[in-house]
Amino acid sequence: MSTITVICVALLGILLFLLGANVTRNRALRGAGNQLPTDPADRLLIAVRAHGNAAEYIPTIIVLLLVCSTLSHSWVIDALAIAAVFVRFTHALGMLRSPTLANHGPLRDIGAMGTYLVGLALGVTVLVTL
């Protein structure tokens, strides 16, 4: 496994934990208030969804990167690892900077579409390198 892929896996893990810490921070700021918001403009709900979305995709991306790295030492794995970090950070930034979850912005959309493309590319890479 290359150093680049290892660094990218670490960055993805760090992102997931930072997003979780942001949820905790927002819950603490809320205090005794509503801890289960439904308003799409509520900062706590935005933080929860940003973390939840990352938790849905980052573990699978990491597993696919590890499998790809085990099967191949191609530069393509490094490129996909870098792309994964870029799109996941872009998506998180797009969600956290959004005034409401009701609207999609370009960062969020690029991050989402990029996540799908990187995930599919990693899955296909695993299959073709067997």
Q: pLDDT for 79-128, tens place per residue?
A: 999 999 999 999 999 999 999 999 999 999 999 999 999 999 999 999 99
Mean pLDDT of 3-10: 98
Nearest to 105 by CA among 115, 86, 90, 89: 90
Spell out the residues 6+ positions from residue 3 whose beta carbon is closer than 8 angstroms to its own. none
Termini Cα distance of the chain: 16
Per-residue model confidence (pLDDT) at position 32: 86
pLDDT digit string, tens, across residues 16-50: 999 999 999 999 999 988 899 999 999 999 999 99
| Domains with residue ranges and CATH for the chain | 3-128 (1.20.120.550)
